[in-house]
Amino acid sequence: MDINVWGWLATSLLLLNILLSSVVIFLERKDASATWAWLMVLFFIPILGFILYLIFGQNLSRQRLFDWDDKKKVGIDATIQKQMKDIHLGQFDFRNPHTEENEDLVSMFLKNNDAVLTEDNDLTIYTDGREKFNALMNDMRQATDHIHLQYYILRLDNLGSEIVKLLTEKAQQGVKVKILYDEMGSRGVLKKHFKELTDAGGLVEVFFPSRVPLINLRLNYRNHRKLVIIDGKIGYVGGFNVGDEYLGLDPKFGYWRDTHLRIEGSAVHSIQTRFILDWNQASDSHDIDYSNHLFPQKPSNNDVAMQIVTSGPDSEWEQIKSGYIKMISSAKKSIYIQSPYFIPDASLLDALKIAALCGVDVRIMIPNKPDHMFVYWATYSNAGELIKAGAKIYIYDNGFIHAKTIVVDEKLSSVGTANIDVRSFKLNFEVNAFIYDYDTGQKLANIFEKDMELSYELTEEKYQNRSGVIKFKESISRLLSPIL
C-alpha cells in the first residue's frame, strides 16, 4: 500500500474521530467532566472508543429507552401535600425530636422525591448474609397474601434455587408471587428458568431485557434496587443480592459484609409503591394496581422515623446524592461512611473535606480488594485525598465489604443500595432509607466501630509510600472516574 493510501486512511480516521467526538460533546453537554473523560478515550482509542461510548455512555437514546408512564402514586399525593404544608407552617406534629432537627432534609425529599415521612416504624439491621436470608425466608413462609421480590442480582445457585423453590410452594398455596430482576445484573438467568413457579401461578418480569438472548449491551440504566415486600406489612431493603457469594461462599471475596434492613410500619407502603412502579414499567401485560390489600393499615406503637428515597436516570435530581451532601453538611461531631466504591464527584468530595477541616470526625471504610479494578484504584485515590484533609480511612480486612451506609452524629443515617459513585447517583435506579432515629444511628455507629477492629487504617504515611505502580493505576483510574 503506497504512502498516499496510508495518508488518506489516516485523514479519514482523523475526520471520523472528530465527527464522533462532536457527537459525544453534544450528548454529554450537561456534564463537562464526563465529556472530557470520553474525549480522552476517543483520543487514545479511536473508533473503538466510540463503540465503548455506545455501550457505557450516559445520554444516548435516553428519551427513547426511558418512556416511563407518568403514574400517580395513588393514595400518597394528598399526604405529601399535607406534610409539606404543615412543615412550612410550623404545624407538623413530629413524634421524634431527631426528625424535627432534620426538618429541612425531610422537606427536600418531600419536594424532589415524593418521599413520605413515616414515624411508626420498627426495623432490624442485618450485617450477615445467613442471618438476613434466614429471616427473609422465615417471613416469606408466613406470607398469606403476596410476596413481591426485586433484586439486581438473582443467581439460581443454591441460595437462589432455595428461594425460588419456597416461592413456588407459596404460589401453590395461593399466595400471589412476583419476581423482578435486572437482566444485566442477573446475566444468564432467563424467564424459562422459573417455569415451575410460573406454572404454579407466580409471575416473573425482567428489567431492561436485551433484544438478543444472553447479549445485553445496555450497561447503563440498570435497576440496582433490592426490595422485598411481604403482605404489605414487612419490607426489606439494603445491599444484599441473591447468590451464594452473599453467604460468604465465594473464595474470591471470602466473608461478605453487607447491611440490610427489615422494616415493619408505614414505610413499607413506600417500598411497595416503588416496587409497583418498577414492575409496571417492566411488565407488558401484568400491571399491578394500587389495591387496598397491598397497603394494609396496621396500628403501631413503634417510633422509628424514615423516608424511602429513590433515584435514577428518569429524574433530573440526584436525590440520594443530595441527601448525602445535606447529611454531611449538617454534621457536628462525626460522619461514618461504608461503601465498596468511593468515587464521589467534586461536590460530595468537597463537602467531606470541609467537614474534616472543620474538625468533624470523618471516617470512611472501603474494601481491601478490588471488585472492579479501575473503580478500586479510583476509590483508593479519593481516599488518599481525604486523608490530607484530616479524614480517617479504614481498609476492611475480613473479606469484602459491600455495605452502603452513612451515619451522622450517631442519630441521622442512611442504608440502601446506592454506592458513592456516578453510576449510583446518575445512571442506575437506586433506593435508600433515610432514618431519623438515635437508637438506629447508635447501632450503625457501633457496627462501624466493630468493623474497625477487622480493618487497618490507611495513614498518610502509608499512602505516601505506595508504589509507583499503584500511583500509575490511580492516575489512570482518576481520569476515568467520571465515567466509571
Q: Which residues are catalytic?
A: 224, 226, 231, 402, 404, 409
Helix 346-357 with 319-330: angle, nearest 10 deg: 10
Q: Round to whole Å and give the CA distance between 330 and 326.
A: 6
- Give the helix ranges, DSSP H, for 291-372: 319-330, 346-357
**Amino acid residing at 285:** S
- Cα 475 to chain centroid, rounded: 26
CA distance linking residue 256 with residue 444, whole number of Å: 17
Q: Give Cβ neighbours of residue 237 (< 8 Å, ≥ 6 apart).
A: 225, 226, 227, 260, 261, 263, 271, 308, 415, 416, 417, 431, 432, 433
Stated as kind and residue range, the H or E segment containing 189 is none
Angle CA(338)–CA(435)–CA(304) in degrees, nearest 5? 135
Spell out the residues 6+ positions from residue 165 whose beta carbon is closer than 8 angstroms to its own: none
Q: Provide DSSP, 33-87.
A: HHHHHHHHHHHHSTTHHHHHHHHH-SSTTHHHH--------TTTHHHHHHHHHHH
Strand segments (E) across 219-348: 227-230, 234-238, 256-264, 304-311, 334-338
Residues 6+ apart with CB under 8 A from 128: 257
Q: What is residue 248's DSSP assignment?
A: T
Give the residue among 420, 422, 355 at the shortest CA–CA distance from 392: 355
Classify residue 213 as exposed, middle or buried by CB count within 10 Å of its CB (0-12, 13-18, 19+).
Answer: exposed
